[in-house]
Amino acid sequence: MNAPKTARQRARAELTKEITDAARLRLAAEGAAALSLRAVARDLGMVSSAVYRYFASRDELLTALLLDAYNAVGEQAEHADATARNDSASPVQRWTAVWHGVRAWALAHQHEFALLYGTPVPGYAAPADTTVAAARMPLTLMSIVNDTAKSGELAQSGGPSAAAGLVADTVRDTAHPDVTAETLNRVLMAWSQLIGTIGFELFGHFNGVVTDNDAYFTHVAHRCALDVGLPGSAD
């Protein structure tokens, strides 16, 4: 099943890829709302009805792009972390490496970022099986916290502590036992802070507010690492 046998099967796999690639280009150029099957078909020099041999509807094509994009950010996050670990980086360094990896991806794929984290496409409901792909990025952040907890270096956050039941059990189960409910809460906050900060930058809310987006983002990444309890230089 991994290696298609017949020429037909090979051609089908290739064309499916060509279609999603062309669709991704359209998406990058004009955004998800403007993505049309007809435009994609035109770009490939085929007739619009031919695309229906490969995708049953526009929504199915969108789903493919959505999945690809989630996996792309996830991979970027995992790769950034792996590289940092190879350099035997500190937890804070791993954390900021992932943050910068995600932001770099977002800046390079603005419309894909918007597809994932912006306004949901009207009339389109993402199927449930996208959640696995969607989870890769936040799970990378979680793994850094888990590793730190394992080595006993995780700082406990002061102040109010989150109630235990706030977070779903399936999420709780991804955390090391030493990770408190409040730390888990902090990881969630950091996750939405990461996406929220990038979103504000891309969607223009920081125009005239933040003068240096690079420096601001770096600072926020660092702050969140400390808030979560990762040990690191005080500066």
Partner DNA sequence: TGTACATCAGTGAACGCGCGTTCACTGATGTAC
Binding residues (CB under 8 A) for its own copies: these are: 30-34, 114, 117-122, 126, 131, 134, 158-163, 165-168, 170-171, 185-186, 188-189, 192-193, 195-197, 199-200, 203-205, 207-212, 215-216, 219-220, 222-223, 226-227, 234-235
Structure tokens at 154: 């995780």
Q: Which among 233, 99, 228, 103 is positioned nearest to 175, based on CA atoms?
A: 228
Q: Report the C-alpha gap between 179 and 171 in whole angstroms.
A: 12
Judged by CB under 7 A, the chain residues 14 through 33 that form the site for DNA are 15
- Smaller CB separation from DNA, 9 or 151: 9
Among 11, 29, 108, 132, binds DNA (CB under 7 A): 11
Q: Which does 189 bind (CB under 5 to 8 A by kind): DNA, its own copies, none?
A: its own copies
Nearest approach in angstroms of CB 74 to its own copies is 14
Based on the shown chain and the rule CB under 7 A, indicate whether residue 43 belongs to the binding site for DNA.
no
- Smaller CB separation from DNA, 46 or 89: 46
Listed in sequence order, the residues at least 6 apart from 180 whose beta carbon sits closer than 8 Å to its beta carbon are: 156, 157, 161
Structure tokens at 218: 């770096």
Based on the shown chain and the rule CB under 7 A, indicate whether residue 37 belongs to the binding site for DNA.
yes
- Smaller CB separation from DNA, 49 or 207: 49
The DSSP symbol for 209 reads T
Inter-residue contact 186 to 226 (CB < 8 Å): no
Q: Which does 114 bind (CB under 5 to 8 A by kind): its own copies, DNA, none?
A: its own copies
Nearest approach in angstroms of CB 136 to its own copies is 14
Q: Report the C-alpha gap between 84 and 151 in whole angstroms.
A: 17
Report long-range pairs for 54-59 (Cβ below 8 Å, ≥24 apart): 54/12, 54/15, 54/16, 54/19, 55/19, 59/124
Nearest approach in angstroms of CB 152 to DNA is 54
Inter-residue contact 66 to 129 (CB < 8 Å): no
Based on the shown chain and the rule CB under 7 A, indicate whether residue 127 belongs to the binding site for DNA.
no
Give the binding site for DNA (CB under 7 A): 6-9, 11-12, 15, 35-39, 46-50, 52-54, 57-59
